[in-house]
Structure 1
Amino acid sequence: MPLSTLLVHTAAALQAVRAGRSLNDVLDRCPPAARPGTQALAFQVLRRLGGAQAARQHLAPKAPAPNVDALLTTALALLWPGDDTGARYAPHTLVNQAVEAAKQTARASAPFINAVLRRFLRDRDTVVAAVQADPVAALNHPRWWIDRLRADWPSAWRGVLEADNDHPPMTLRVNARRTTPQAYVARLAAAGLEGTVVGPHAVRLGRPAPVSDLPGFADGDVSVQDAAAQLAAPLLLGGGLPPGARVLDACAAPGGKTAHLLELADLDVLALDSDADRLRRVDDTLHRLGLVARTAAADARQPDTWWDGQAFDAILLDAPCSASGIVRRHPDVRWLRRPTDIPALAETQAAMLDALWPLLKPGGRLVYCTCSVFRAEGDAGIDAFLQRQGGLSLVGRPPSPGHLLPGPDNRAVEDAPDAGASPDGFYYALLTKPLP
Structure 2
Amino acid sequence: MTDQPRSRRLVAAPSRLPEDSLAYALVTAAGLIADVVGGLTLTDALATLWARRPDTPPGVRGAILDLAYGTLRDYGRQDFILDQLLQNPLPEPVQSLLRVALHRLDTRPDTAHTTVDQAVEAAATLLEGKFKGVANGVLRNALRQATELRAAADADMVAEHRHPPWWIRRLKTQYPKDWRAILVAGNTHPPMALRVNSLRSSRDEVLESFADANLPVRVLANGTLILEKPVPVGRLPGFAEGCLSVQDAGAQFAAQHLDVDDGQRVLDACAAPGSKTCHILELADVELTALDTDASRTRRISENLTRLGLSATVKAADCRNLDAWWDGRPFDRILADVPCSASGVVRRNPDIKWLRRGGDIARFASQQAEILEALWRVLAPGGKMLYATCSVFAEENGEQIAAFAARHPDCRRLPIGGQLDCQYLPCTDHDGFFYALLEKAA
TM-score by length of 2: 0.91
Q: Distance in 2 between matches of 1:328 and 1:112?
A: 32
Secondary structure of 1:393's counterpart equals: strand
Q: Is the 8 A contact 1:181 1:202 kept in 2?
A: no
Q: What is the aligned partner in structure 2 of residue 417 from structure 1?
A: none
Structure 1 residue 29, shift from structure 2 partner: 2.2
Q: Distance in 2 between matches of 1:132 and 1:196?
A: 34
Q: Is the 8 A contact 1:145 1:339 kept in 2?
A: yes
Q: Distance in 2 between matches of 1:188 and 1:234?
A: 24
Q: Is the 8 A contact 1:320 1:349 kept in 2?
A: yes
Q: Distance in 1 between matches of 2:24 and 2:244?
A: 36
Q: What is the aligned partner in structure 2 of residue 378 from structure 1?
A: 397
Over residues 189-231 of structure 1, what are the superposed CA-to-partner deviations in whole Å (9 max), with x where a residue is unaligned? Answer: 0111111111343111111111111111011101001111111
Over residues 60-88 of structure 1, what are the superposed CA-to-partner deviations in whole Å (9 max), with x where a residue is unaligned? Answer: 031121222111122122222xx2xx35x
User: Does residue 403 in structure 1 map to residue 420 in structure 2?
Assistant: no
Selected match of 1:143 from 154, 165, 182 = 165
Q: Is the 8 A contact 1:185 1:197 kept in 2?
A: no
Selected match of 1:95 from 116, 127, 151 = 116
Selected match of 2:433 from 412, 426, 429 = 426
Secondary structure of 1:96's counterpart equals: helix
Q: CA 1:290–1:400 in 2, change beyond 3 Å: closer, same or farther? A: farther
Secondary structure of 1:398's counterpart equals: coil
Q: Distance in 2 between matches of 1:215 and 1:74?
A: 35
Q: Which amino acid aligns with 1:389?
A: H
Q: Distance in 2 between matches of 1:182 and 1:405?
A: 29
Q: Which amino acid aligns with 1:208?
A: P
Q: Is the 8 A contact 2:29 2:65 kept in 1?
A: yes
Over residues 136-191 of structure 1, what are the superposed CA-to-partner deviations in whole Å (9 max), with x where a residue is unaligned? Answer: 00110001110111111110000000011111111100011122223311110011
Over residues 339-395 of structure 1, what are the superposed CA-to-partner deviations in whole Å (9 max), with x where a residue is unaligned? Answer: 111110011011100110010000001000000111111101111111111353310
Q: Distance in 1 between matches of 2:298 and 2:221?
A: 28
Secondary structure of 1:394's counterpart equals: strand
Q: Is the 8 A contact 2:414 2:438 kept in 1?
A: yes
User: Does residue 192 in structure 1 map to residue 214 in structure 2?
Assistant: yes
User: Does residue 318 in structure 1 map to residue 337 in structure 2?
Assistant: yes
Selected match of 1:165 from 170, 187, 210 = 187
Q: Is the 8 A contact 1:175 1:220 kept in 2?
A: yes
Over residues 100-145 of structure 1, what are the superposed CA-to-partner deviations in whole Å (9 max), with x where a residue is unaligned? Answer: 0011113010000100110110011111212322210011000111
Q: CA 1:400–1:285 in 2, change beyond 3 Å: closer, same or farther? A: farther
Output aligned runs, 1:261-410, within 5 Å.
261-390=280-409, 392-396=411-415, 397-400=417-420, 402-408=422-428
User: Does residue 59 in structure 1 map to residue 85 in structure 2?
Assistant: yes
What percentage of aligned pairs have identical amino acids?
Answer: 44
Q: Which amino acid aligns with 1:434?
A: A
Q: Which stretch shifts more, 44-53 or 389-398? A: 389-398
Q: What is the aligned partner in structure 2 of residue 412 from structure 1?
A: none
RMSD: 1.3
Secondary structure of 2:388's counterpart equals: strand
Structure 1 unpaired stretches of 5+? 409-421
Over residues 227-284 of structure 1, what are the superposed CA-to-partner deviations in whole Å (9 max), with x where a residue is unaligned? Answer: 1111111211x2x4242x2111011000000000111111111000001111100000
Q: What is the aligned partner in structure 2 of residue 176 from structure 1?
A: 198
Q: Distance in 1 between matches of 2:311 and 2:439?
A: 26
User: Does residue 109 in structure 1 map to residue 109 in structure 2?
Assistant: no
Q: Distance in 1 between matches of 2:314 and 2:227?
A: 31
Q: Is the 8 A contact 2:410 2:441 kept in 1?
A: no
Structure 2 unpaired stretches of 5+? 1-19
Output aligned runs, 1:120-131, within 5 Å.
120-131=142-153
Q: What is the aligned partner in structure 2 of residue 22 from structure 1?
A: 41
Over residues 389-429 of structure 1, what are the superposed CA-to-partner deviations in whole Å (9 max), with x where a residue is unaligned? Answer: 13533102523452110104xxxxxxxxxxxxx11100000
Selected match of 2:228 from 206, 213, 225 = 206
Q: What is the aligned partner in structure 1 of residue 6 from structure 2?
A: none
Q: What is the aligned partner in structure 2 of residue 219 from structure 1?
A: 241
Q: Which stretch shifts more, 175-184 or 159-168? A: 175-184
Q: Which stretch shifts more, 170-179 or 254-263? A: 170-179
Q: Distance in 2 between matches of 1:366 and 1:349?
A: 14
Q: Is the 8 A contact 2:398 2:421 kept in 1?
A: no
Q: Is the 8 A contact 1:313 1:360 kept in 2?
A: yes
Q: What is the aligned partner in structure 1 of residue 265 from structure 2?
A: 246
Q: Distance in 1 between matches of 2:87 and 2:363?
A: 35
Secondary structure of 2:434's counterpart equals: strand
Structure 1 residue 331, shift from structure 2 partner: 1.2
Q: CA 1:148–1:232 in 2, change beyond 3 Å: closer, same or farther? A: same
